Amino acid sequence: MSSSDQYAVFGNPIRHSKSPEIHAAFAAQSGQNMVYRTHLVDDGMFAESAGRFFDNGGKGLNITVPCKVDAFQFADSLSDRARRAGAVNTLALQDDGTIYGDNTDGAGIVRDMLENLAWEMTDRRVLILGAGGAVRGILSPLLARNPRHIVIANRTVEKARLLAREFSELGEVRGCSYEGLAGSQFDLVINGTSASMMGDLPPLSPELLSETACCYDMMYSAEPTPFMRWAASEAAWAVSDGLGMLVEQAAESFCIWRGIRPNTGPVIEQIRASLNKPTG
């Protein structure tokens, strides 16, 4: 019997990662002979650790914080979306022995919104909260869906404006402060800040939401995040966390590695159920 192909997720911290459970489900569903593990990467050790993984027969890696820029620098070749994002979350060994880098985050959020949630993006007024690496990774695929415009709001306004300028050739996108949102209204609001992890919320006015506004938090947890609770209390038409994005970006990675697109619906349900299980 042939040995299993080796895959892993690299990051720090890493124990909380749902990626092994997700990819095990994909492999079982599609009959793939593969093993997927977590790997804690010490500070400054990404290149050495990744090099050793591939030298020892590894086929592909997922990359999470804080290693996505390290992975970008490690790759021998890059997809256009990875180059735009300036970060890589997927590394794949090629037939010629080189390492290909991609960023599947934006494809994951777009697929979750379009396929799983049935949200429309074309001609929608989109607001994105935050201007960090997570937001950078989703801008190109979102702009490819032809929204009417995208506004990036951030506490440090210059960071938002700089990011908007970098992507302005792909569509109408501008940056502003949270105060600069006054008088504007949006059909889709995406929380790309880490505020939800801290139990915090950016300063938002309920007037930002149109009558059919959808609100999406890129974070996920067993309980609704503060952003999701705010959106629901202000009568957003639909509200979602980022669990579907997590599974969809993983499916995109799986497709890059194995040439098969898994059925994500049952896996999203499986991971959601595992989040809600009591511990202890």
158 is in an annotated binding site: yes
Cα 69 to Cα 83: distance, rounded to the nearest angstrom:
11
Band (pLDDT 50/70/90 cuts) for residue 1 is: very low
Asked if residue 227 and residue 142 are part of one domain, the reply reads yes
Q: Could you tell me the pLDDT band of residue 2, with boundaries at 50, 70 and 90?
A: low
One domain for residues 47 and 126: no
Q: What are all long-range contacts of 205-213, with beta carbons under 8 Å and residues at least 24 apart?
A: 205/181, 206/234, 206/235, 208/127, 208/181, 208/184, 209/185, 209/234, 209/235, 209/236, 210/125, 210/185, 210/186, 211/237, 212/187, 212/237, 213/186, 213/187, 213/188, 213/189, 213/237
The pTM of the full predicted model, rounded to 2 decimals, is 0.94
- Active-site annotation holder among 23, 59, 68, 111: 68
pLDDT digit string, tens, across residues 59-86: 999 999 899 999 999 999 999 999 999 9
Q: Is 239 annotated as a binding residue?
A: no
The model's pLDDT over 31-44, given as tens digits with 9 standing for 90+, comes to: 999 999 999 999 99
Q: Strand order of the sheet with strand 60-63?
A: 34-40, 5-11, 60-63, 90-93, 99-102, 77-78
Q: Which domain holds residue 268?
A: 5-102+244-276
**Do 133 and 65 sit in the same domain of this protein?**
no
The answer to whether 88 is a known ligand-binding residue is no
Buried b (16+ CB within 10 A) or exposed e, 191-206: bbbebbeeeebbebee
70 in the same domain as 133: no
**Same-domain pairing of 113 and 185:** yes
What CATH number does the domain containing 143 carry? 3.40.50.720
| pLDDT tens-digit readout, 166-222 | 999 999 999 999 999 999 999 999 999 987 677 788 889 999 999 999 999 999 988
Please indicate, yes or no, whether residues 63 and 168 belong to a single structural domain of this protein: no
42 labelled as ligand-binding?
no
> How high is the pLDDT of residue 46?
97
Residue 277 marked in a binding site: no
pLDDT of residue 278: 56
- For position 80, which CATH number holds? 3.40.50.10860
pLDDT at position 264 over 80: yes
Q: Across residues 94-121, what is the average pLDDT?
A: 97
Determine if residue 130 is labeled as part of a ligand binding site: yes
Q: How many domains does the chain have?
A: 2
Is the same domain home to 146 and 36?
no
Residues 182 and 267 reside in one and the same domain: no
Residue 177 sits in the same domain as residue 272:
no
Same domain, 127 and 178: yes
Q: Is 68 an annotated catalytic residue? A: yes
pLDDT tens by residue, 110-165: 999 999 999 999 999 999 999 998 999 999 999 999 999 999 999 999 999 999 99
**pLDDT classification of 280: cutoffs 50, 70, 90:** very low
User: Is the same domain home to 136 and 64?
Assistant: no
Q: Do 152 and 205 share a domain, yes or no?
A: yes
